[in-house]
Amino acid sequence: MKSYNPIKIESKWRKRWLAENRWQVDIKNAKNPYFNLMMFPYPSAEGLHIGNLYAFTGSDIHGRYMRMRGYDVFEPIGFDAFGIHSENFAIKKGVHPRDLIQTSTANFRRQLENAGQMYSWDNLVDTTDPAYYRWTQWLFLQLYKTGLAYHKEAPVQWCPGCQTVLANEQVIQGRCERCDSVVETRKLRQWFLKITDYAERLLENLDKIDWSERTRAAQRNWIGKSEGALFKFPLSNIEGSTSASLGRDGQEDGKHFVEVFTTRPDTLYGVTFIVASPELAHEWLDMGWQTTDEVKKYIDKAIKGRSLQAENQNTEKDGVDSGVFATNPASGEKVPVWISDYVLAEYGTGAIMAVPAHDERDFEFAVKYGLPIRPVILPPDKETGEATKGAYTGEGVLVNSGKFDDTESEKAREKIAEEAGGEMRVQYHLRDWLISRQRYWGPPIPIIYCAGECLEKAKKKGEEGIDWTIINGEEVAIHPVSEENLPVELPYLEDFRPKGTGKAPLEADSAFVEVACPECGGAARRETDVSDTFLDSSWYFLRYPSTDVHDKPFDKLRTRTWLPVDMYIGGQEHAVLHLMYARFITMFLHDQKLIDFEEPFDKFRAHGLLIKDGAKISKSKGNVINPDNLFEAFGADTVRTYLMFLSPLEQGGDWRDEGIRGVHRFLGRVFGLVQDSEQKTVNSKQLEQARHQMIKKVTEDIERLHYNTAIAAMMTFVNTLYDNEHSEEDIRTLLVLLAPFAPYITEELWSQLSTDSSIHDQKWPEFDEELAREDTITIPVQVNGKVKAELEVERGTSKDKLEKMALENEKVAAFLEGREPKKIIAIQDKIVNIVV
Ligand code: ANZ
């Protein structure tokens, strides 16, 4: 009897599939299109990471399953090959990134082919190909034309490790998401994309798409919508200030004021001081405000120390009394203005009204500096509003608030705002997307600056940041490169290393930089920053169906056929990076009438993280896993099946070296079944019920990406087959269900059973509900309308028994914390509802 030799089987089928381009979908003639997308990798020279493989396998199984359900599944792949990652690796190796990319993409491709993925290779995308980035530049120009790309000076986050600015989304708790350096704040002129114009739609649409809840929550959080009011507090004791203004809007009727944003206008009577951010105070200094050296020193120190403070969110807040007073617009009371770095410059107005009785941070600050704390909201169940142990941040009834006393806080919000001249305001945490990078390995931003005769014209008609700007202290007109002149090719620079001067490497290439002005023909200069890699990946899925189209970024008809993407599987870490950017760009293209949908991904599922023996897989931990070695030792089928056997895809899994052997043995047993089948198969209906139960289980588990339990069901079935008389149909069904997981071995065994068809062209088997009925079922237990636990019970378990089991359930008990339920409703075979 033959034994299972994965290397031989896999290489045989791989060669055949590659020669036939077996998985290529027919882009133009597909009847039943299904776009199965996975996040394309950056082709790191170290090769395919096991974490990539985990995600890709999860996605490929879904694609293969949908294909067997009768869809024309389009499963493309590409290389996100621009960016700092590839560039840094090139620096380390002492090779040019362009040369490095050639070898690393070739290596990646080989590994992906080995992995048994179902790719449409004809539609490969490489973001570093001028035929691709020409359209990335085109996209930038469309944004520019609509005023959504602008050049502005702003405090930006500078990564000293990567020697470039970063987008806000790339800064995680004060550190660079890539190299983990503590970022610094610098004031620089950069290109931004106005994603904030889309904040409300990005938020609202979240309810309309079928996405992992945690991804939607992360986006909602990042967009951070707050509804509140702006109040103006007139300032006094600021003698020495010039006629220049203070605060956001400056001066009104010759008076200075500071403006604050608050979500709690109902607490206006509880304001005991104002806090300005150090950056705002610095602006006051620039405008001529005279103050003590101590205050000036604090401002300087705080601005410089920003990044360090961001690094440790829990550092104690410190601050300084500015000596200026502000007048409460409701009560007329004068309160001191402090300066502290717990107030952010970029949020709201950069200044706050402090209500220590009802805000935690203000409370801490007031205690530290002995500032008064005045309660103005009485908690519903308290007699006095004395806040001794901390701030009371909830709702209640107003006290100490003049004529608003006894009003409910929620109702008082608008009334007080109106009374005190407040302006209702919706505020978002989301900032504009900074796309300039002072690096080499990216698409040049297609802009030309002219300081010649165009400048006057540009200034007369135009807006700063859109028509003209300042570069190195010099005013210049901004001209977009005309679309016919795209791509602006990235020259092959020998010295491509970042300069650390805040200037991009391209700056040194005069042949690139110096051009004739497209308007006046005079001497002009090109922009030398390149764009963020996330701009490359914000639209790659649109390119996939149109990779052979060269006169436009995407063909309208094909886009209509294939998009939006039906299923997208990828990392949660991109929730507010790639996934947010892609949604923004898609909305923008929709508004330009270039596509007819505004959400790019109908369905998105975030896979979990793969860890090893409890620790994150990383080089520094010395626990990296090389897929090549595994493919050689066990074959790709085993690796795929093992990865998916770890746990539900969305949860991630803990890799254990022993575990893979078990799965390998399982596939060996499947192989053995077919070799034995001559003797053992009979025309038996004995296993009919078990077979239908397996089909149901595997189908439903694949649908919810619980591949692990689908595999377990097949394992159980294999044991049953070994122990019982079984039919060829039992074996065939097993193989078909296993095909998405282990495409090679199933194809091989199928060819041994019947010669002229491929297992991958078989229809997914149906199950008979009656036969597939399980004797044990899972019943959800809800507490106050939310599912808190599940009960595994025999079908037909009585209502009384269900109630009893629900109350005894650990999770439910933990939630009830000894409270008596008001009501319990149990419905046989369906649900238990508890109301407390
Ligand atoms: C007074 C107040 C009283 C506040 C109260 C809260 C509770 P979100 O929900 O995140 O929008 N705030 C405003 N601008 C700020 C800034 N630049 N830096 C730090 N904090 C800032 O938070 C809005 C609240 O955060 C605002 O409402 C303000 O504090 C503070 F009982 O104003 B509140």
CA–CA separation, 412 and 262 (whole Å): 14
Which pair of structure tokens corresponds to residue 795?
């079908």
Which pair of structure tokens corresponds to residue 182?
């503590």
Of the candidates 576, 666, 739, the one whose C-alpha atom is nearest the C-alpha of residue 220 is: 576
H or E element in which residue 338 lies = strand 334-340
Residue-level pLDDT at 245: 43
Residue with tokens 């502290």, as numbered in its chain: 340
CA–CA separation, 505 and 757 (whole Å): 57
> What's the DSSP call for residue 689?
H
Which residue ranges have their beta carbon within 6 Å of ligand 1?
A: 226, 261-264, 267, 343-344, 347-348, 350, 352-353, 355, 358-359, 427
H or E element in which residue 141 lies = helix 130-145
Residue-level pLDDT at 246: 46
Side-chain half-sphere CA neighbours of 768 within 13 A: 7
Which residues, in sequence order, are bridge partners of residue 567? 36
Which of 262, 328, 398 to mutate for ligand 1's pocket (most ligand atoms within 8 Å of CB)?
A: 262
Residue/partner pairs of 473-477 with CB below 8 Å, 24 or more apart: 475/451, 476/449, 476/450, 476/451, 476/525, 477/449, 477/450, 477/451, 477/452, 477/519
Which of 233, 260, 264, 309 to mutate for ligand 1's pocket (most ligand atoms within 8 Å of CB)?
A: 264
Nearest-CA residue for atom 1 of ligand 1: 262
Nearest-CA residue for atom 31 of ligand 1: 358
Which residues, in sequence order, are bridge partners of residue 397? 378, 408
Residue-level pLDDT at 249: 42
Interval between CA 356 and ligand 1 midpoint (Å)? 11
Q: How many CB atoms lie within 10 A of CB 457?
A: 14
Residues whose CB falls within 8 Å of the CB of residue 389, separated by 6 or more in sequence, listed in order: none
Q: Which atom of ligand 1 is nearest to the CA of 349?
A: 17
CA–CA separation, 607 and 577 (whole Å): 16
CA 716 distance to own-chain centroid: 38
Nearest-CA residue for atom 8 of ligand 1: 226
Residue with tokens 């890539």, as numbered in its chain: 178
Nearest-CA residue for atom 10 of ligand 1: 226
Nearest-CA residue for atom 20 of ligand 1: 343
Which of 359, 400, 416, 424 to mutate for ligand 1's pocket (most ligand atoms within 8 Å of CB)?
A: 359
Interval between CA 708 and ligand 1 midpoint (Å)? 46
Biggest distance spanned by C-alpha atoms of the chain: 103
Residue with tokens 């990946």, as numbered in its chain: 537
Residue with tokens 């409701």, as numbered in its chain: 330
Say if residues 182 and 174 touch (Cβ distance below 8 Å): yes
Interval between CA 431 and ligand 1 midpoint (Å)? 17
CA–CA separation, 832 and 786 (whole Å): 11
Nearest-CA residue for atom 19 of ligand 1: 343
Q: Which atom of ligand 1 is nearest to the CA of 351?
A: 17
DSSP result, 82-139: -SHHHHHHHHHHTS-HHHHHHHHHHHHHHHHHHTT----GGG-EETTSHHHHHHHHHH
For the chain, helix, strand, coil in percent to 5 are 40, 20, 35
Interval between CA 351 and ligand 1 midpoint (Å)? 9
Interval between CA 314 and ligand 1 midpoint (Å)? 17
Interval between CA 393 and ligand 1 midpoint (Å)? 12
Residue 452 DSSP SS3? coil
CA–CA separation, 671 and 22 (whole Å): 24
Nearest-CA residue for atom 14 of ligand 1: 348
Say if residues 733 and 677 touch (Cβ distance below 8 Å): no
Which pair of structure tokens corresponds to residue 335?
């309160």
CA–CA separation, 324 and 341 (whole Å): 17
Nearest-CA residue for atom 25 of ligand 1: 262
Nearest-CA residue for atom 7 of ligand 1: 359
Interval between CA 157 and ligand 1 midpoint (Å)? 23
Nearest-CA residue for atom 2 of ligand 1: 264
Q: Which atom of ligand 1 is nearest to the CA of 343?
A: 18
Q: Which atom of ligand 1 is nearest to the CA of 263?
A: 27
Which pair of structure tokens corresponds to residue 403?
């004529």
User: In which residue ranges of the chain is pLDDT below 70?
Assistant: 1, 237-255, 306-316, 382-388, 619-620, 677-685
Q: Which atom of ligand 1 is nearest to the CA of 358?
A: 31
- Exposed/middle/buried for 354, CB within 10 Å: 0-12, 13-18, 19+? buried
Q: What is the 3-state secondary structure (H, E, C) of 299-330?
A: HHHHHHHHHHHHHCCCCCCCEEEEEEEEECCC
Nearest-CA residue for atom 11 of ligand 1: 226
> What's the DSSP call for residue 669?
H
Q: Which atom of ligand 1 is nearest to the CA of 427?
A: 11
Q: Which amino acid is at 591?
A: D
Interval between CA 228 and ligand 1 midpoint (Å)? 9
> What's the DSSP call for residue 429?
S
β-strand 776-783 against 831-835: which pairing, if any? parallel
Q: What is the pLDDT of residues 336-373, one digit of tens each?
A: 999 999 998 888 899 999 999 999 999 999 999 999 99
DSSP result, 781-809: EEETTEEEEEEEEETT--HHHHHHHHHH-
- Exposed/middle/buried for 106, CB within 10 Å: 0-12, 13-18, 19+? exposed
Which residues, in sequence order, are bridge partners of residue 793? 777
In the chain, what is the straight-line distance between the N-terminal and C-terminal CA atoms, in Å?
Answer: 64
Interval between CA 343 and ligand 1 midpoint (Å)? 9
Of the candidates 397, 393, 358, 359, the one whose C-alpha atom is nearest the C-alpha of residue 381 is: 397
Which of 222, 225, 258, 261 to mutate for ligand 1's pocket (most ligand atoms within 8 Å of CB)?
A: 261
Interval between CA 352 and ligand 1 midpoint (Å)? 7
Interval between CA 262 and ligand 1 midpoint (Å)? 5
Interval between CA 255 and ligand 1 midpoint (Å)? 25
Interval between CA 224 and ligand 1 midpoint (Å)? 12
- Exposed/middle/buried for 683, CB within 10 Å: 0-12, 13-18, 19+? exposed
Residue 831 DSSP SS3? strand
Q: Which atom of ligand 1 is nearest to the CA of 391?
A: 31
Side-chain half-sphere CA neighbours of 370 within 13 A: 0
Interval between CA 297 and ligand 1 midpoint (Å)? 26
Say if residues 455 and 476 touch (Cβ distance below 8 Å): yes
CA–CA separation, 541 and 37 (whole Å): 8
Interval between CA 260 and ligand 1 midpoint (Å)? 9
Say if residues 714 and 39 touch (Cβ distance below 8 Å): no
Count of all residues that appear for the chain in the document: 836
Interval between CA 359 and ligand 1 midpoint (Å)? 8
Q: What is the 3-state secondary structure (H, E, C) of 714-783?
A: HHHHHHHHHHCCECHHHHHHHHHHHCCCCHHHHHHHHHHHCCCCCHHHCCCCCCCHHHHCCCEEEEEEEE
- Exposed/middle/buried for 152, CB within 10 Å: 0-12, 13-18, 19+? middle
